[in-house]
Structure 1
Amino acid sequence: MVEKPGDSPHLLVVDDDERIRALLQKFLARNDFLVTTARDADHARRILSGLDFDLIVLDVMLPGDDGITLCGELRAHQTTPILLLTARAGTEDRISGLEAGADDYLPKPFEPKELLLRINSILRRMPAAEPGAGVPKVLHMGPLRYDIARGEMWRGAELVRLTATESQLLQIFSDQPGAPVSRADLVARLGRSGGQAQERAVDVQITRLRRKLEDDPKQPRYLQTVRGAGYMLAPD
């Protein structure tokens, strides 16, 4: 691990290619990140059992459990943002990564500057807790309550885990509850490039978010589809 000041974001890079691990560690360290590396899924699990990270850069093609399997496993119990690196060019493979809980993906080969931009974009999406007096603004959706200021969703006394992208989507919808937001607008506000593939990726994220919001995700009450207009958050 490369030592940097304590307020530097700490990244875990998981890739079985030693050369790529070394190159990414050097590049990211030069850009003021703390960097820890792992060679495969088991190595990453051991590291994650004792350390917390701000973001995980995870290669899909790993020996043993692949990156998508590890991503789904991690997402079941933690909200650390995950950026997948994939040599698979097919849209279905990328969608599989998003369905497993990844916040973004970057096809190989890639320019290191683009990786840096995507990492910074994901980290900017993470909601920051806002201390201070006063009652926070809250949206209620049945048994759920969403604290807009803190970017947190609660079911009673239980914190509902949200990925960085899910949290950003709720922040976007919370800006205008009861009003539809188009898929193209969601793509733009999520910091993604345009196109049908990205709009389809947003649909996947909406489906995942509905599983956390709705009693019956196939007949959504709170995160509704507005025909011809996009999606709308309809709190109580």
Structure 2
Amino acid sequence: MSEQPHILVVDDDRRIRQLLQSFLADNGYRVTVAASAQEARERRRGITFDLIVLDIMMPGESGLDLTRALRQGSDDIPVLMLSALAETGDRIAGLATGSDDYLSKPFEPQELLLRIGNLLRRSARPQAVASEARFGPYSFNIGKGELKREGDIVRLTSREKDFLRALSASAGVPVPRSALAQPGSEDSARSVDVQINRLRQKIEIDPSNPIYLQTVRGSGYVLHLD
């Protein structure tokens, strides 16, 4: 299986750190926490992270200071800023330092997940979108929309091909239901769930306990590759 994206949460509030760590872990992410900008720097010396969730208001070096230093050092890791400051000027200041997104506290957990997913997809390395996705005995040709199991073709509907393309392109990263739904569908969420269940019937040994195509609670679905 491919490794889940690793997120560094930086916030001086211990309660918020713990809540974010638990929530993001429950939704399929690896999470490391830091209580300050200095601690964040120390964490990054030995670990490669995919994204930083960063509080602005911290004692000493603020989130703005840390982000500015990262960008001046040509570090392009995605940064999602969190702040209790919700004024337009505050958001502009956060984005002006080089952060990729800004979310005001308090925020809806679902919105945090969606913003994280969007940032990870936008920052994905080119090789992450391969011509072929492999999981277990299956190989999926993304361009052709052709699924094979140990060389034998598995028949897919056009919607199932679309789903696998979207999930393969964001392998290891949760894809929201809204990104899989057909535009204008009134029952899009239910329709997506039905399509996912049908797809699982074709690629999972036990569809009720999926290994490759898993549900991310409160968000959507994620495809795990080998």
TM-score (normalised: structure 2): 0.54
Give 1:76 shift. 2.0
SS of match in other structure, 1:16:
coil
Equivalent in the alignment of 2:95: 98
> What pairs with 1:17-166 in structure 2 (closer than 5 Å)?
17-77=13-73, 78-130=75-127
Distance in 1 (alpha carbons) for counterparts of 2:41 and 2:51: 14
Question: How many residue pairs were aligned?
Answer: 129
Equivalent in the alignment of 1:136: none
> What pairs with 1:184-223 in structure 2 (closer than 5 Å)?
none
Aligned structure 1 segments of 4 or more residues deviating by more than 4 angstroms:
130-133
Name the stretch that deviates more: 91-100 or 78-87: 91-100
TM-score (normalised: structure 1): 0.52
Distance in 2 (alpha carbons) for counterparts of 1:75 and 1:48: 15
Distance in 2 (alpha carbons) for counterparts of 1:33 and 1:84: 18
SS of match in other structure, 2:31:
strand
Distance in 2 (alpha carbons) for counterparts of 1:17 and 1:128: 32
Give 1:89 shift. 1.4
Distance in 2 (alpha carbons) for counterparts of 1:33 and 1:122: 14
Name the stretch that deviates more: 32-41 or 86-95: 86-95
Give 1:118 shift. 0.5
Specify every segment of 5 or more residues in structure 2 that has no aligned partner in the other structure, as ranges: 132-226
Give 1:127 shift. 4.1
Paired residue type of 1:41: A
* Bigger RCO (CA 8 Å, 6+ sep): 2
Q: Relative to structure 1, is the Cα distance of residues 132 and 118 closer, same or farther in structure 2, using a 3 angstrom cutoff?
A: closer
Specify every segment of 5 or more residues in structure 1 that has no aligned partner in the other structure, as ranges: 134-236
Root mean square deviation of aligned Cα: 1.9
Distance in 2 (alpha carbons) for counterparts of 1:52 and 1:45: 11
CA-to-aligned-CA distance 1:97-146 (integer Å, 9 cap, x gap)? 1111100000000111111110001111124324999xxxxxxxxxxxxx
Q: Relative to structure 1, is the Cα distance of residues 114 and 73 closer, same or farther in structure 2, using a 3 angstrom cutoff?
A: same
